[in-house]
Amino acid sequence: MRLRITYFDFPFWRAETARLALHLARIPFEDRRPTREEFRELKASGELPYGQLPILEVDGECIAQTPAIARFCGKAAGLYPSDALEAARVDELLHSVEQLTALIAPSMSEKDPVRKAEMRRVAGEERLPKLLHMLERRVSSFGPGPWVVGSQMTVADIALWRALDWLVGGVLDGIPPTLLDASPRLLAAMQRVNEIPEVRAWMRDKYGARS
Ligand SMILES: N[C@@H](CCC(=O)N[C@@H](CS)C(=O)NCC(=O)O)C(=O)O
């Protein structure tokens, strides 16, 4: 099976979940990371089913939409449960990460600095704390951990880890780095992924992250 993942050169959850799942399982794939200019060309070529990234190509067949890509790579890598209930919980969390992303995404393209700051304030002070509170309760109800679903790591752990790290990692102006302080279960889940030596090596080699 020939696999190629196309996404920008940063560790956002949309592609990193799939990239890392394949990497951890030692499944070879082409890791295509277009520049903005190359992305515009790709978009103009009609190669992207929804005009966006990431895409995954499997023997030349294109798969789009982040959760579908994460599921496909998770299944290939043994990081997606075979139990139907656990699988549904993984799906639920992937969609929750999508919901979390959607609370920030509109402010990323806002050009007016005053409007942008207000959007971030509403997200940081009202919407995100509410969603994170629900996520914390939900994940706690799934079990004691450390993995978010079941007794093994899944793509939901990788997706949450990348999305939450993005959220509180200091790259989003106006979003308080203390946002996760009331979410010990989510913090523990992030830490568990961070502790995996192959994950640390990947972050160091690809992005120069300190390990
Ligand atoms: N629904 C899509 C959303 C993908 C998306 O928002 N991709 C962004 C990058 S994170 C993108 O391609 N933005 C460029 C554009 O829309 O022109 C998915 O689940 O993958």
Strand order in the sheet with 61-64: 30-32, 3-6, 55-58, 61-64
Q: What's the 46 CA to ligand 1 centre distance in angstroms?
A: 15
Check whether 211 has a pLDDT greater than 90: no
Alpha-carbon distance 160 to 166, whole Å? 10
pLDDT digits (tens, 9 = 90+) for 42-101: 999 999 999 999 999 999 999 999 999 999 999 999 999 999 999 999 999 999 999 999
Q: Which of 77, 99, 131 is the last residue of a domain?
A: 77
Residue 209 confidence (pLDDT): 85
Hunting for tokens 């509109």 — which residue is that? 106
φ, ψ for residue 60, nearest 5 deg: 85, -10
Residue 145 confidence (pLDDT): 87
The answer as to whether 94 is a domain residue is yes
| Residue whose CB lies within 8 A of the most ligand 1 atoms, among 5, 6, 9, 14, for a mutation test | 14
Q: What is the mean pLDDT of the chain?
A: 96
Percentages helix, strand, coil for the chain (3-state, rounded to 5) are 60, 5, 35
| Closest protein CA for atom 13 of ligand 1 | 52
* Boundaries of domain holding 97: 84-195
Asked whether residue 184 falls in the same domain as residue 114, the answer is yes
Asked whether residue 109 falls in the same domain as residue 17, the answer is no
Q: What's the 52 CA to ligand 1 centre distance in angstroms?
A: 4
How many domains is the chain built from?
A: 2
Asked whether residue 114 falls in the same domain as residue 178, the answer is yes
Q: Which of 50, 77, 104 is the last residue of a domain?
A: 77
CATH of the domain at 156: 1.20.1050.10
Is the CB–ligand 1 distance for residue 183 below 6 Å? no
CATH of the domain at 27: 3.40.30.10
pLDDT digits (tens, 9 = 90+) for 158-193: 999 999 999 999 899 999 999 999 999 999 999 999
SS3 140: helix
Residue 192 · residue 143 · CB < 8 Å = no
Q: Which of 77, 96, 120 is the last residue of a domain?
A: 77
pLDDT digits (tens, 9 = 90+) for 19-47: 999 999 999 999 999 999 999 999 999 99
Q: Is the pTM of this model over 0.85?
A: yes
Asked whether residue 116 falls in the same domain as residue 151, the answer is yes
The answer as to whether 207 is a domain residue is no
The answer as to whether 26 is a domain residue is yes
The answer as to whether 156 is a domain residue is yes
Asked whether residue 52 falls in the same domain as residue 119, the answer is no
Asked whether residue 64 falls in the same domain as residue 145, the answer is no
Residue 210 confidence (pLDDT): 72
pLDDT digits (tens, 9 = 90+) for 121-164: 999 999 999 999 999 999 999 999 899 999 999 999 999 999 99
Region at 41 (left for phi over 0; alpha for psi -120 to 50; beta for the rest): alpha
Hunting for tokens 């890791």 — which residue is that? 31
